[in-house]
Amino acid sequence: MTGKKSDKKKFIRDSVYGDISLNDFEVQIMDMPQFQRLRRIKQLGLISLIYPGATHTRFEHSIGTMNLGSKLSEELGLENDEIELIRASALLHDIGHGPFSHVSEGVLSVPHEELTKFVITQTSMKDLLEEKFDVSEIVDIISGKGYLGPIVSGELDVDRMDYLMRDSHNTGVAYGIIDYERIISNLELEDGLILDIKGVQAAEGALVSRYFMYPSVYQHHTTRIVNSMFRRALTRVFDEGIIEEKDIYKYDDAELIGVFRHCENEFVNDIMSRLDNRRVMKRVKTIRLDNFKYPEKMYKIEQKTLRKAEEEIAEDYDIDKDYVFINIAEYPRFDEMKTQVNVDGKLYPLTEISNIIGALSKARFNIPDISVYVDDSEKPKFEKFKLENYLDLPEIDREKFHGIHYDQIKLF
Tell whether the model's pLDDT for residue 404 goes beyond 70: no
Percent of the chain residues topping a pLDDT of 70: 95
Give the pLDDT score at 41: 97
Segment 133-186, tens digit of pLDDT = 999 999 999 999 999 999 999 989 999 999 999 999 999 998 878 999 999 999
Question: Mean of the pLDDT values across residues 389-393?
Answer: 95
CA distances from 287 to 42, 367, 369, 371, 387 (A): 30, 10, 5, 7, 9
Question: Mean of the pLDDT values across residues 295-314?
Answer: 95
Give the pLDDT score at 411: 34
* Between 8 and 328, residue with greater pLDDT: 328
Tell whether the model's pLDDT for residue 3 goes beyond 60: no
The model carries a pTM of 0.92
Ranking 8-12, 88-92, 144-148, 390-394 by mean pLDDT, the lowest is 8-12
Is the Cβ–Cβ distance between 152 and 65 less than 8 Å? yes
Tell whether the model's pLDDT for residue 5 goes beyond 60: no
Tell whether the model's pLDDT for residue 412 goes beyond 90: no
Return d(Cα 305, Cα 283) in angstroms, integer.
20
Segment 191-221, tens digit of pLDDT = 899 999 999 999 999 999 999 999 999 999 9
What is the pLDDT of the chain when averaged over all its residues? 92
Give the pLDDT score at 400: 65
Give the pLDDT score at 333: 85
Segment 146-156, tens digit of pLDDT = 999 999 999 89
Tell whether the model's pLDDT for residue 52 goes beyond 60: yes
Question: Mean of the pLDDT values across residues 20-47?
Answer: 97
Give the pLDDT score at 398: 73
Strand partners for 156: none
Return d(Cα 380, Cα 335) in angstroms, integer.
41
Segment 34-47, tens digit of pLDDT = 999 999 999 999 99
Segment 326-337, tens digit of pLDDT = 999 999 888 878
* Between 7 and 380, residue with greater pLDDT: 380
Q: How confident is the model at residue 7 (pLDDT cuts 50, 70, 90)?
A: low
Length of the chain: 412
Rounded to 5°, angle at Cα 383 from 319 and 230:
45
